[in-house]
Structure 1
Amino acid sequence: MSSIAFSPRFLLPAHALGVVSCLLTALVAAAAPGANAWAQQFEQRRSIYLEAGHSLDNNGKASTAALGLSLPMQQKLWDGRISMAWNFYLSGWDGDAREGQRKYYAQIGVVPMFRYHFDEGASPWFVDAGIGASYLHKTYEVGDKRFGSRWNFSDHLGVGRVFGAQQEQELGLYVKHVSNAGFKEPNPGETFLELRYAHTF
């Protein structure tokens, strides 16, 4: 997959994705008509997905690829416009390492993802947002960037579209930010722009 060069001016603040995800969650809770809204079933199917992308930081570039599983909660909120699914993934990071630095890293993560469906749930377009946890098998160190912890938060924000004869496929563009929220320094974080393809089963 060819990479695209990005200017540091396009970098999001370190915890911008987390703030956006928290705001979306609060909005969902505030807009919900009540607990009974969770009672109705939402027809969302399990899916497996492939994801690949490139870091947005020019200081110590990295690329990533992931294989994931999405397991939805069979419920709906806000008249079907909001749904939730658990995303479990295994990814590999390929860093632009200096001499003596590790080049490859493995990451596992779990993220509860909230999905907003346009047109009261009838549109094939959607927005995803979620905050989860992830673990790197070794302490990440690429270029001048070094993580203080192998455990990190994993913030996701994306937009996508469902397609196919049975609406069994998805294509989405996501921004993923990984950092430990300052619990252990240093905490430079890493932000990726990723393309995701999913297929239901």
Structure 2
Amino acid sequence: MFALATPLSPRHARVTRSTPPVGHACRGIARWAAGATLVLAGAAAQAQGVDWTLIGGASETARVRQVGVVAGWTRPAPLWQGDAWRLRLRHEGVLAAWHVPQARDVVEVGYSPVLRLERPLQGSANVFFVEGSIGVRLLSHTRMADDHNMSTAFQFADMLGAGMQFGQDGRSTLGVRLQHLSNLGIKKPNPGINFVQVYYAYRF
């Protein structure tokens, strides 16, 4: 005997047709971010000179605010050594949250290779530096406001900054950065977003 399927009521049919898949993109981003964080933490734990950074940023675009954590490790040998300056290469894994008042909040994950030009200060463990980077980011959402859509989840992150290492063995670092995110024209519109960031890092 074959059972006849019960037809959906008009009300049920409307709900079924109008309800989108629940949170597939968000769950995927969350899993990706969790996996990336574990990988970064494991790599940092095995690296020489590991440091952890708390970073906060603000943007004029739609009053977006940013807070995050960075796992960083520095190549032991300088890329270049001069009489007063030296050039170092850092690797930074980023996990951050954006508060977006005019749209959905954003989760940001990414990686940046950072070139840091350092000048040790005589008679102390303090080191002044300037730094720059071009990294990559993945965003959970792209809309910052009704009139500001960044179009793609994948973004490039350009950064210029300066700061000071200080304290015992130069374990602490305080710095400021200017950061610009955009997709370099992969998809239009491409308005990008700029952040002014301050950060504190501690090397264990």
- TM-score of the two chains, using structure 2 as the length reference: 0.69
2:63 aligned residue:
61
1:156 aligned residue:
159
* Segment drifting more, 74-83 vs 170-179: 74-83
More helix as a share of residues? 2
Return the index of the structure with the highest Cα Rg.
2
Match of 1:84 among 55, 76, 89: 89
Cα distance in 1 for residues equivalent to 2:168 and 2:81: 25
Cα distance in 1 for residues equivalent to 2:170 and 2:133: 23
SS at match of 1:82: strand
SS at match of 2:186: coil
Paired positions, count: 152
Structure 2, unpaired ranges of 5+: 1-47
8 Å CA contact retained: 1:60, 1:144: no
Q: How much has 1:143 moved relative to structure 2?
A: 4.3
Give 1:118-137 correspondences, 5 Å limit. 118=119, 124-137=127-140
- Higher relative CO (Cα under 8 Å, sequence separation at least 6) belongs to 1
2:74 aligned residue:
72
Cα distance in 2 for residues equivalent to 1:160 and 1:118: 11
Q: Deviations over 1:96-130 (max 9, x none)?
A: 30xxx32x110001000000012599861001100
Cα distance in 2 for residues equivalent to 1:92 and 1:147: 16
Cα distance in 2 for residues equivalent to 1:126 and 1:143: 39
Cα distance in 1 for residues equivalent to 2:93 and 2:195: 17
Q: Deviations over 1:124-166 (max 9, x none)?
A: 1001100010000122332421111000001111100011122
Q: How much has 1:73 moved relative to structure 2?
A: 1.7
Query: Within the alignment, does 1:170 sit opposite 2:173 as a pair?
Result: yes
In structure 2, give the amino acid aligned to 1:53. G
